[in-house]
Amino acid sequence: MKKLRLKIIASLLLLFFSVLGWSQNPVVDSLKNVLKTSMSDTTKVRVLNAMANTLKELDPQATTSYARQASKIAQPIRFYFGLAEAAMNQGNANIILSQYKIALTYFNQAETHYKKQLDRTTTDDQLQKTKNGLARAYASMGVVYSEVNNYSIALHYYFKALKIYQEINNQKSVSKAYNNIAVVYKSENQLEKALVYLKKALSIQQKLHEPTFGVTLMNIGQVYFEQGNVKQAFQYYSKAQKELESNQNDRNHALLQSYWGDYFKKQNDIEKAFVYYQKSLTAYENLQNPFGAALALYNMGELYFELQKHNDALTYAQKSLDLAQSIGVIDQTIHSEKLLSDIYSAMNNPAKSLEHYKGYVAARDSLTNEDNNKKFLRAELNYEFQKREAILLEQNKRQNLFTWFIVIGGLLLIGLVFVTYNRLQIKRRLTLQKEVAEYEQKALHLQMNPHFVFNCLGSISSFIVQNGADLAIMYLSKFSKLMRLTLEYSKGSLIPIDKEIESLQNYLELEQLRFNNKFEFRIGVSPSIEDDMALPPLLIQPFVENAILHGIVPKDGNGNIDVYFNLIDNQLICTVTDDGIGISKSMQMKENSVKAHQSMAMEITKKRLEIIESKTQQKADVRLEEIRNEKNAIAGTRIVISLPVQYLDIKPRT
């Protein structure tokens, strides 16, 4: 039932399309009265869009009709915000109708209209409203790609929406974006990442006293349950129970009862499992929700079957199948047909067992066909995405060229003085770019210095001579991986933080082998670090190398090295800490050859930091300090590297 339950939790987490729980007919009637008395076209557009938005889940066809009327009025007067809202309403209606390609077309139109509106925005309030709309368009695109299981592109758009929501400080929508990102990670079975973003959403909801707080608690518990962490699942289910009861959230409370049934079933407390499955069934029946009722009936039938109470199992399984078929839910039909086939087989009724097995196969084939159709649609949407990105890139190039032509033409008209100044600026910029490239390449190649390479090869040779073939192979494998990573990362100016950590991990493991486990190390990352944050490649390694060679190696006994990445006051802070001999004593012990190599490495690294600071106009520096214990004796060294926060756009996998 994993796929079926995934659809249920996704429906709860994708909060961009939540609807009001009471009847909307009075709202529509009231808006119709307003429409009759409206004089201005912009007011008519707003009212029509409000009517379309109100009906988007109750009557998608009516939503489309009202949105078209709004678009028809808004077009001649170039009311771009009204056009964008109309496109959003039509896109939402088509998502409800499972017309994903059409929905995506409308969301693309909405993006275009919102961007045009940004150019005409004159007040902070309008700017906030328009940016919020643009973020909703990106989030809706993410929903479309998530629905067709193209999770990579879905993440791409969810992160774009998240950045805008954070920029305009719309914390409520930030929490929704975190929820949607969690859905994608859960769909990809990356449960740890799903938990990270669910807890980020939970933190915001708690501060804002959001009614969705209980739903997020429940979903965190469900993820823990899938991980097999029943203790944490119990704690979060209990908190969710209290929250959902206080907010009278009947639909989600019904689902929680089903989760409780699963929990007690796993704990082999069959009596309580029955109680909660029955509570879930009663709640869904009161809500007139056949989808949830079919699932609850199936759960009870399955439980009776496991207890070999075949007659009771048969009753519930048949009711589940009847409901599933009546509402056309193929997933539930598959599971109910299979359960009925198994029950009849256990009751020695092969004819009925075969009949339902055939029903199971037919439903399964139907689902396979549906999945195949989704695959074709996913491929088509992926192609459209790539084509659109290529067009946008070309448009940006043309816009940049056009801008340059205007700038150059203006400079030519200004006169000789400004032309001379411009040439000096261009020369300075080219010199700086050349210097950046040279120093970055020097810094990267310095990691591969011959001294280090020869030491590694010598260690491998020593392992082989001492019959340590396994250690030699392991060392050689890690050494070759570090070489490959270094060459790979030298291609770009920025890499994701997790890639830098991978390189550091490999390097430290290599040095552990080389120095016979003389030190232990830990690499930690603060939860505030986002997946798309980046830094220059291999910037931290020289500091770690210093900690090993000049802090730990000369020390009597073993040592420890800690590397930690944190986000403080919009600065990316990396701290390298060792419990070695300290800076002062290390300076006295350095040999000339090693000293020359290390001073060169540090000089180049400091120059890279200066260039980063110049390019970003933000702080980028390094601070070294000795650590002293309570007796004021030297207990190690701490290096703090401060970098500006930079982002690497998440490119979808194709």
Q: How far apart are CA 544 and CA 614, in angstroms?
A: 25
Half-sphere exposure of 362 (CA within 13 A, CB side): 9
- Give the pLDDT of residue 253: 86
pLDDT of residue 269: 92
Alpha carbons 575 and 624: distance in angstroms, whole number: 10
Has residue 467 got a pLDDT over 60?
Answer: no
Does position 383 have pLDDT exceeding 80, yes or no?
A: no
CA atoms within 13 A on the CB side of 565: 24
pLDDT band at 10 (very low <50, low <70, confident <90, very high): very low
Whole-angstrom CA distances from 173 to 155, 162, 300 are 16, 8, 38
Reported as type and span, the H/E element at residue 122 is: none
Instruction: Give the angle subtended at the CA of 509 by the CAs of 628 and 453, to the nearest 5°.
Output: 105
Res 622 pLDDT > 60: yes
Task: Determine how β-strand 559-568 pairs with β-strand 519-525.
Answer: parallel
Beta-carbon contacts of residue 333 (< 8 Å; ≥ 6 apart): 321, 324, 325, 359, 363
Q: Is the pLDDT of residue 389 over 60?
A: no
Amino acid at 465: V
**What CATH number should be reported for the domain whose range is 432-647?**
3.30.565.10
Q: What is the pLDDT of residue 629?
A: 87
pLDDT computed for residue 445 by the predictor? 47
Residue range 485-492: average pLDDT?
A: 67
Alpha-carbon gap, residue 130 to 115, rounded angstroms = 8
Tell me how far the alpha carbon of residue 38 is from its chain's centroid: 44
**Exposed, middle or buried by CB within 10 Å (0-12, 13-18, 19+), for 105?**
middle
Fold held by 39-173: 1.25.40
Q: Give a three-class secondary structure readout of 515-543.
A: CCCCEEEEEEECCCCCCCEEECCCCCHHH
Mean pLDDT of the 160-171 span:
93
Domain boundaries, the chain: 39-173, 432-647
Of 509, 429, 498, which Cα lies nearest the Cα of 650? Answer: 498
CA distance 168 to 388: 27
DSSP string for residues in 173-218 = HHHHHHHHHHHHHHHTT-HHHHHHHHHHHHHHHHHHT-TTHHHHHH
- pLDDT confidence bin for 6, thresholds 50/70/90: very low
Q: Which of 114-123, 370-379, 436-445, 450-459 has the highest mean pLDDT?
A: 114-123
Query: Using an 8 Å Cβ cutoff, are 159 and 181 in contact?
Result: yes
Per-residue pLDDT band for 594 (boundaries 50, 70, 90) equals very low
Coil, strand, or helix at residue 46? helix
Q: Which pLDDT score, from 0 to 100, does residue 46 have?
A: 87
Alpha helices, H only, 569-636: 583-589, 592-616
Q: Which residue has the higher pLDDT, 447 or 190?
A: 190
Question: Which of these ranges, 104-108, 258-262, 612-616, has the smallest mean pLDDT?
Answer: 612-616
Of 18-22, 98-102, 492-496, 563-567, the least confident: 18-22
Pick 333 or 446 by higher pLDDT.
333
What is d(CA 174, CA 208) in angstroms, rounded to the nearest whole number? 12
> What is the chain's mean pLDDT, rounded?
80
Whether residue 576 has pLDDT greater than 80: yes
Q: Is the pLDDT of residue 593 over 60?
A: no
Both tokens assigned to 578:
């060792």
What confidence score (pLDDT) does residue 478 get?
76
pLDDT, tens digit, for every residue of 337-348? 899 999 999 999
**In whole angstroms, what is the distance from residue 226 CA to residue 346 CA?**
30
Which of 356-365, 398-407, 603-612, 622-631 holds the top average pLDDT?
622-631
Q: Which of 269-283, 568-582, 594-608 shows the lowest mean pLDDT across its residues?
A: 594-608
d(CA 625, CA 319): 72
Q: How far apart are CA 620 and CA 646, in angstroms?
A: 12
Residue pLDDT, tens place only, 64-84: 988 999 899 899 999 999 999
- Residue 458: pLDDT band with limits 50, 70, 90: low
CB-side neighbour CA atoms (13 Å) of 31? 19
Band of residue 330 on the pLDDT scale cut at 50, 70, 90: confident
The CA distance from 132 to 163, in Å, is: 11
Euclidean distance between CA atoms 134 and 114, whole angstroms: 6
- Kindly tell me if the per-residue pLDDT of 11 is higher than 50: no
Residue 455 has pLDDT above 60, yes or no: no
Phi-psi region of 559 (alpha: psi -120 to 50; beta: other; left: phi over 0): beta
* Mean pLDDT, range 406-433, rounded to an integer: 73
Least confident segment among 174-183, 290-299, 413-422: 413-422
CA distance 551 to 396: 50
Q: Which residue has the tokens 């039938």?
A: 301
Residue 11: its H or E element = helix 2-13
From CA 303, how far away is CA 192, in angstroms rounded?
Answer: 30
pLDDT at 600: 60
DSSP characters for 407-418? HHHHHHHH-HHH
In terms of C-beta distances under 8 Å and separation of at least 24 residues, what long-range contacts does 307-316 make, across chains too? 307/270, 308/346, 310/343, 310/346, 310/347, 313/339, 313/343, 314/340, 314/343, 314/344, 314/347
Q: Any residues with CB less than 8 A from the CB of 461 and at least 6 apart, and which?
A: none
Angle between helical axes of 151-167 and 350-414 (0-180°, round to 10): 50
Distance from C-alpha of 388 to C-alpha of 380, rounded to nearest angstrom: 12
Measured CA to CA, the distance from residue 186 to residue 219 in angstroms comes to 11
Q: Which of 326, 327, 277, 325 is nearest to 298 (CA)?
A: 277
Angle of CA points 596, 612, 565, to nearest 5°: 85
Per-residue pLDDT at 532? 80
Q: pLDDT (tens digit, 9 = 90+) per residue, 168-183? A: 999 999 999 999 999 8
Q: Does 439 have pLDDT greater than 50?
A: yes
Q: In the prediction, which pLDDT does 632 show? A: 87
Please state, in angstroms and rounded to a whole number, the distance separating the CA atoms of residues 7 and 324: 15
Q: How many CB atoms lie within 10 A of CB 103?
A: 23
Residue 181 CA to residue 175 CA, distance in Å, equals 10
Is the pLDDT at 38 greater than 70? The verdict is no
- The residue ranking higher by pLDDT, 358 or 385, is 358
Assigned token pair, 428: 């300075």
If we measure between CA atoms, which residue out of 583, 547, 584, 581 comes closest to residue 562?
547
Convert the pLDDT of each residue in 223-263 to its tens digit.
999 999 999 999 999 999 988 888 776 788 889 999 999 99
**Residues 6+ away with beta carbon under 8 Å from 631:** none
Task: Give the whole-angstrom CA distance, residue 410 versus residue 233.
Answer: 66
Separation between Cα atoms, residue 131 and residue 378, nearest integer Å: 28
Measured between alpha carbons, how far is 204 from 393 in angstroms, rounded to an integer? Answer: 36
Residue 442's pLDDT band, with cuts at 50, 70 and 90, is low
pTM (2 d.p.): 0.55
Cα 147-152-158 angle, rounded to 5 deg: 75
CA distance to 118, 457, 476, 517, per residue, from 473 (Å): 59, 11, 5, 17
Crossing angle of helices 330-346 and 310-327, in 10° steps, is: 160
pLDDT greater than 50 at residue 4: no
pLDDT at 108: 92
Same fold, 39-173 and 432-647: no
